[in-house]
Chains A and B, each alone.
Chain A
């Protein structure tokens, strides 16, 4: 029993990180039809910015250090994303191959620059003692970092749903996912919604960058890329443009990986995720909760 709880919470924690990256990816694709390969770079830059901030505050209290790092990571992710959209992606409006190339280039360049500046080895992160401790849950000792990631992702999900369903910009984004041209034909500057979506997606990826550092206890220049791949899988399984779909798929993928890697053999879980992706693409090409058509 305690093993199952442990695996479930660990899987959910992983799913939480996937979701935070996938949410922005999904909205960006849904609204702008941009496959944003730079999304992992937002994650990576944010985690290194957060790490640097917490180093600079080494003498402050661990909680203050952590919260400042969290804030720095989110702001960095949001700003980096906004800037990338304005400088690299906007000029290539509707030139999809160009956008793919430019975001792939940005991703590669970012990883190289981070490795140049900080080295390619993982670096340990400091965090409040409570974070690295465990809490008992149904007989299992659950690492608090998992709980933090899950709670944060759940909050982000709620905030995103509120944004999408209850605000005017959310309405614009939902309509824009369906038919961008018609939104502008109603007198709405869709470009501004694009920029906002990039900012939101980058902020969520930045949050994921900081939480992943806490989750794994290290930062690593390569982690953004592997997160991006998992997030792409989550987005496709959940349905492009659907936030609840991404949340659902992130949970499924996280749990599947944990349980099969444990009960079958290491690697089986990751393989199963790829099989699941293939099955979804064949049976429901629009994804679990994607709009079919």
Chain B
């Protein structure tokens, strides 16, 4: 295995919201290239970790992208360093058309990969004038993914449960899109569908109660029913075995 260069590094990331310490010192490294999985049961802090990287929640600790410290920057400045975000709730702008959603995501100065976006999701071209709020869940997910894929200078994409609540056929298309996306950027993927995660991911990081409890190869985790059950829950473990 050739060692890939570290791209995104978290060191002792802590997030406290109100009285509760949601992240209690999360440290991990995402290496350049491919898809790294960020797994764990419901409510362990996966979404909060992504939001912490982006500065969408107040946090302490350090986050670096290609050795450059991000923690002092505003969210928009972090994103401009080449971070794409696909949030858990998709967060498309319901009142804007599909085309406007994409245009808003265009970062000035970057090349825009409309060819890739429309190759993966041709319906976004057909529905360019449609209000995003009237799209199906799957189509909204496509808009959300497209916004992150669009900017050619994105170095890492933070993608939060992209297959959640989608029909099997759409899940497959999203998975295919993620594989294609991984050819042009590094991906940090939160995915509760273990079958999908298993197919896409090689390196995994597992969170439990706001801490990293496992970091290594996906086979090592999923191949071990005891580990899988302990960290991912019973139902998840059954899904793959």
| A185-B93 in contact (CB<8A) | no
Mark contacts of B142-168 with chain A using CB atoms, 8 A cut-off: 1 yes-contact digit, 0 otherwise. Answer: 000001000100000000000000000
Query: Smallest Cβ distance from A269 to chain B, in angstroms?
Result: 34
Complex Cα distance, B96 from A177, in Å, reads 11
Query: Smallest Cβ distance from B128 to chain A, in angstroms?
Result: 14
30 inter-chain pairs at a CB distance below 8 angstroms, sorted by A residue, are A171-B104, A172-B104, A174-B93, A174-B95, A174-B100, A175-B100, A178-B93, A178-B96, A179-B91, A179-B93, A182-B93, A184-B76, A184-B79, A185-B56, A185-B75, A185-B76, A185-B79, A185-B87, A186-B76, A186-B79, A186-B105, A186-B107, A186-B147, A187-B76, A187-B79, A187-B80, A187-B151, A188-B76, A190-B76, A291-B95
Task: List residues 98-148 of chain B with CB under 8 A from any CB of chain A.
Answer: 100, 103-105, 107, 147
Closest 9 CB pairs of A and B: A187-B79, A184-B75, A182-B91, A187-B80, A175-B93, A184-B76, A185-B85, A189-B76, A186-B105
Task: List residues 145-194 of chain A with CB under 8 A from any CB of chain B.
Answer: 168, 171-172, 174-175, 177-179, 181-190
Partner of B100, one of A171, A181, A182: A171
B94 contacts A by Cβ under 8 Å: yes
Which A residues are in CB contact (< 8 Å) with B76? Answer: 184-190
B54 contacts A by Cβ under 8 Å: yes
B74 contacts A by Cβ under 8 Å: yes
Q: Hey, which bits of chain B sit against chain A, CB under 8 A?
A: 54, 56, 74-76, 79-80, 85, 87, 91, 93-96, 100, 103-105, 107, 147, 151
Which B residues are in CB contact (< 8 Å) with A179? Answer: 91, 93
Partner of A175, one of B80, B85, B104, B107: B104
Total A-B contacts with CB atoms under 8 angstroms apart: 59
Complex Cα distance, B150 from A91, in Å, reads 34
| B74-A184 in contact (CB<8A) | yes
Which B residues are in CB contact (< 8 Å) with A185? Answer: 54, 56, 75-76, 79, 85, 87, 91
| A188-B104 in contact (CB<8A) | yes
Complex Cα distance, B56 from A182, in Å, reads 9
Task: List residues 183-208 of chain A with CB under 8 A from any CB of chain B.
Answer: 183-190
Query: Which B-chain residue is minimally distant from A192 (CB atoms)?
Result: B76
Task: List residues 40-67 of chain A with CB under 8 A from any CB of chain B.
Answer: none
Which one of B54, B75, B91, B95 has the greatest number of beta carbons of chain A within 10 Å?
A: B75
Which one of A179, A183, A187 has the greatest number of beta carbons of chain B within 10 Å?
A: A187
Which B residues are in CB contact (< 8 Å) with A186? Answer: 76, 79, 85, 104-105, 107, 147
Query: Smallest Cβ distance from B218 to chain A, in angstroms?
Result: 28
Complex Cα distance, B83 from A184, in Å, reads 12
Complex Cα distance, B79 from A186, in Å, reads 7
| B56-A181 in contact (CB<8A) | yes
Partner of A187, one of B56, B94, B96, B107: B107
Complex Cα distance, B94 from A190, in Å, reads 18
Which B residues are in CB contact (< 8 Å) with A178? Answer: 93-96
Besides A171-B100, A179-B91, 11 more A-B contacts (Cβ < 8 Å) are A168-B103, A172-B104, A175-B96, A178-B93, A181-B75, A182-B91, A185-B79, A186-B76, A186-B85, A187-B76, A188-B104
Query: Smallest Cβ distance from B129 to chain A, in angstroms?
Result: 13
Query: Smallest Cβ distance from B110 to chain A, in angstroms?
Result: 9
Complex Cα distance, B78 from A187, in Å, reads 7
Complex Cα distance, B94 from A171, in Å, reads 13
Query: Smallest Cβ distance from A291 to chain B, in angstroms?
Result: 6
Complex Cα distance, B106 from A168, in Å, reads 10
